[in-house]
Structure formats: C-alpha cells, structure tokens
Amino acid sequence: MPILVNHIDHIYNPGTVFEKKALSDVSFSIEDGEYIGLVGHTGSGKSTLALHLNGLMKPDSGGIYFDGVDIASEGYDMKALRGKVGLVFQYPEHQLFEEDVFTDVCFGPKNLGLERQEVELRAYEALKAVGIEDDRFYVSPFDLSGGEKRRAAIAGVLAMKPKVLVLDEPCAGLDPHGREEILSIADDLHDSLGITVVLISHSMDDLAEHVDRLLVMHNGQLVMDGPTREVFMNRKELEAMGLAVPEAAAVLSDLKGMGLPVRTDLITVEEAKNEIIRALRSRF
C-alpha cells in the first residue's frame, strides 16, 4: 500500500480573517497500480490535497503514510519521497527552464543524486515514454508546441521513476487532439509501466473513459470515493455540488426517465451506444 492518508486537516491562514479550512478530515488509501480520478470544484481542496501527497504541504493534523512510514517522522527523506510520488502541475511553463528539453528532463533525476549515466538513461526513457522523438531532444523547451510542453513536463517528473504520478489538469487549454495524446500517455504509463496514476480533471467525460476509481472533493471534504461507475450513479448529489456526470450517463438516465428500459450504470460513449441498441432491439 503506497499511500495512506489518515484523517488530515489543513487550514489556510489560521487565526486571521482569511482563515479557511482547505482540507477537513480527509482519509483514503491508494493501492499499487490504481488509476484514480480526483474531481471537485475550484477551491474544493483537490489541489491542496495533491500537494500533501508528496509532502509539499503538511497537514495541520492527521498523517500521511508512504509505504507504511509516516512522512512527517523525524529524518524522513523528503527528496526521495518526491521522486516516488511525482506531481506534474497544470502549467508546464512553471517548470521548464533549461536550454534544451533533454537537459531539462535530467533535472529531476540529477536532484536525486544519481550517476550521470543513470540520469541520462532515465531522461531518455522518460522522453520516449511520452512520445517525444530524438530530433526534439535538443530544441529549447520554450520552442515546443503546447502539447509537447506538457509532455516534456510529464517526462521531467517521470524521469525520477515515481511509483505514483499525480497529474493536475494535464489537458487544460489543449485542443481535442492534444487532450487525446496526453490521456493516452497517462493510460500507457498506467497500463504498461504499472505506475499508479492520479488524474485531476474537470472533464467527467475524460474521467469516465479512463480512470477506474473516483475521489470527489467538496468544501475540503472527501465526499465520494468508489469505482467510477458507482460514483457517477449519484447524479443528483453530484449536480447539487455543481458537478456533472458524463454526457453518456446523463443521456441514459434521461432515456430511462422517458420510459426506455436502459441500464444507468454505464458511463462511456461506447457502452451507452451498445446499451441503447440492446434496449431498442429488445423492445420489439
């Protein structure tokens, strides 16, 4: 069990007029090889939660355990933790800084104190894993396209060989093609490299197509945690929080309301298509 989050609270600006409870009694665990989605409104605490997972923020109460060890314990190697729990932020512009892409990707593993050869090997593998070709290795990261920058940023974290990879809004601002690319990289990292992936996203349709488990944050609390399919069956509750269900699920539940006998626990376009056809055929 790589990560256990045990009843954590986090309060911003305690004791001032700006005091705000960002996290309130949040508990859950992440198992090896899971593919998890994390959703919630802006300000629901999901980004704050992500920052706790690799120790960039510390809980005011409660504890976080990585591989069974309390990360707040004396002498805990934070740098090593950041290598194990990789966090990729929304804007790649916030991390790209070297003269060329390859050197930039080397930054992470170099910070881990690895040998040069190992650093470069890891950078090479990471760049390959995100689909950046050799001829793009030595261009300036600032000359990359939007989608390439995201991929380079992911590679920069991937090169530290994390067990858990948290991607914060990796598709924001990209065109449909770019989104598809990033999501299929996330799939690959999970399926082929066995990395535990946590995907923070606003797009319920994307989450429905990709993740197996869903965590829903609302006002600093973890209000839902379960298999994606089951979480999306709570349409009313989600809509009350200002969140949506995937369009395909919404169509099915509307159809059921109109009297067509369809299952409503299906969430992807493909599933909805098959279910509608089945329901229509069985009607005759």
Q: Report the Cα 201 to chain-centroid distance in Å.
A: 7
Measure the CA–CA gap between 85 and 45, rounded to whole angstroms: 19
Choice from 34, 187, 212, 247 touching another protein (CB under 8 A) = 247
Q: Give whichever of 76 and 142 is closer to another protein, judged by the CB atom.
A: 142
Q: Which of residues 7-46 bind another protein (CB under 8 A)?
A: 41-42
Q: Give whichever of 68 and 257 is closer to another protein, judged by the CB atom.
A: 257
Sheet with 221-227, edge to edge strand ranges? 85-88, 164-168, 196-200, 35-39, 213-218, 221-227
Binding mask 203-232 for another protein (x = CB under 8 A): --x---------------------------
Binding mask 75-114 for another protein (x = CB under 8 A): ----x--xx--xxxx-x-xxxxxx--------xx--xx--
Choice from 49, 167, 174, 207 touching another protein (CB under 8 A) = 174
Contact positions vs another protein (CB under 8 A)? 41-42, 51, 54, 56, 79, 82-83, 86-89, 91, 93-98, 107-108, 111-112, 142, 145-147, 156-157, 160, 172-178, 202, 205, 242, 244, 246-248, 250-251, 254-255, 258-260, 269-270, 272-273, 276-277, 280
